[in-house]
Amino acid sequence: MKIITRVLIVLLVFGLVAGLLIAFDSMAATLAVSVGLIDGPRVEHSVPVQNQNQEQEDTSENETRSQPSITYMIKRWVLSTGKNVFVMAVLVVSIVFPKSRAKRSRKMSHQKNFGR
Amino acid sequence: MSSEVEKGVVSQTKSKLWVDILIFVVFLITMEPGLSRLTIHEWLSLSMIVGMLVHLLINWDWIIEITRRFLGRLGGQTRINYILNWLLFIDGTLLMVSGLMISEVAMPALGLDFQIGDGWSKLHDLSANTVLILLGLHTALHWNWIVSTVMRYIVNPVLRLIFRNKQIGGVA
């Protein structure tokens, strides 16, 4: 019961934040359209069914033709994941290293004072 | 501390560690939608909601405690940590909502199809990059806990196992 209540609280907060974000976004979009910063929603013209099918066939053919190899995919995935991990590592090092140095120097000065 | 309470704390710390590792791995996979395929990207991202729920439930007492004490006396780092966690939650929500809006696989499969412009797509990219930075800061603030817990529950048991096997091999 306790867990269900907590889950509901989290989902409620999630819903509230999501609702606020969507409201803010639609408000900003309406404002931008009325001011003339962006165009309104585009009216899509219907494409004849036969052409649509042909386009779909073309794209599926292209997809199967230009399918990259598994090795290439893995290499790219490792590189881009490495990039993300690197960004996080830089942040971690830039915070943890100065903090631990400051802690060490504080400890050293405390030991010196205590020694005297 | 009684042994039962101690056991409870240990198992909670262990589950915290494994949930966090799982969330981190899933996050890294979902950060590359072009390579992990859109279907995997979207369904894995949706499953992250469960992961985040478990993460929040495990840390529930801390959240309640700091929320109560936030306006009173509180350490600087704890306050920063709390604000950062809220930013991460808001940005994570934005990432999730924008992802649902531009979904091409999961939402249509559930019978929902939002016809929207590419504004949400840009917002999705921006919030994903912001989550990466916020997650880096979150990791940095919890670095001591991460190192000590990984050492205690992963590195040390593995080393103990290796050395015990070597000793047994040497005796035999």
> Would A10 be classed as within a structural domain?
yes
From the list A21, A73, A88, the residue facing B136 with the nearest CB is A88
- Mark whether B89 and B127 lie in a shared domain: yes
pLDDT tens digit sequence for B53-63: 999 999 999 99
- Mark whether B113 and B161 lie in a shared domain: no
The one-digit pLDDT tens for each residue of chain A (116 residues) are 788 999 999 999 999 998 998 888 888 878 877 877 666 655 555 445 455 555 555 555 555 556 667 788 788 888 889 999 999 999 999 999 998 888 888 888 877 776 65
Query: Nearest residue of A to residue B140 by CA position?
Result: A92
Q: Which residues of B touch A83 (CB under 8 A)?
A: none
- Mark whether B45 and B70 lie in a shared domain: yes
Quick check: A21 contacting B, CB < 8 Å? Answer: yes
Quick check: B58 contacting A, CB < 8 Å? Answer: no
- Mark whether B30 and B103 lie in a shared domain: yes
Residue B143 confidence (pLDDT): 93
Residues 36-75 of A with CB under 8 A from B: 41-42, 73
- Mark whether B123 and B97 lie in a shared domain: yes
Record the tokens describing residue B141, joined without a space: 């603030």
Residue B91 confidence (pLDDT): 94
Q: How far away is chain B from the Cα of A38, in angstroms, using its nearest Cα?
A: 11
pLDDT tens digit sequence for B96-117: 999 888 888 888 888 887 766 6
Contact B89 A17 (CB under 8 A): yes
- Mark whether B166 and B117 lie in a shared domain: no
Domain range for A11: 1-38
- Mark whether A72 and A116 lie in a shared domain: yes
Q: Is the ipTM of this complex over 0.85?
A: no
Residue A82 confidence (pLDDT): 92
Domain range for B165: 147-172
Q: How far away is chain A from the Cα of B53, in angstroms, using its nearest Cα?
A: 7
Number of domains comprising chain A: 2
Number of domains comprising chain B: 2
Residue A112 confidence (pLDDT): 75
What pTM was computed for the model? 0.78
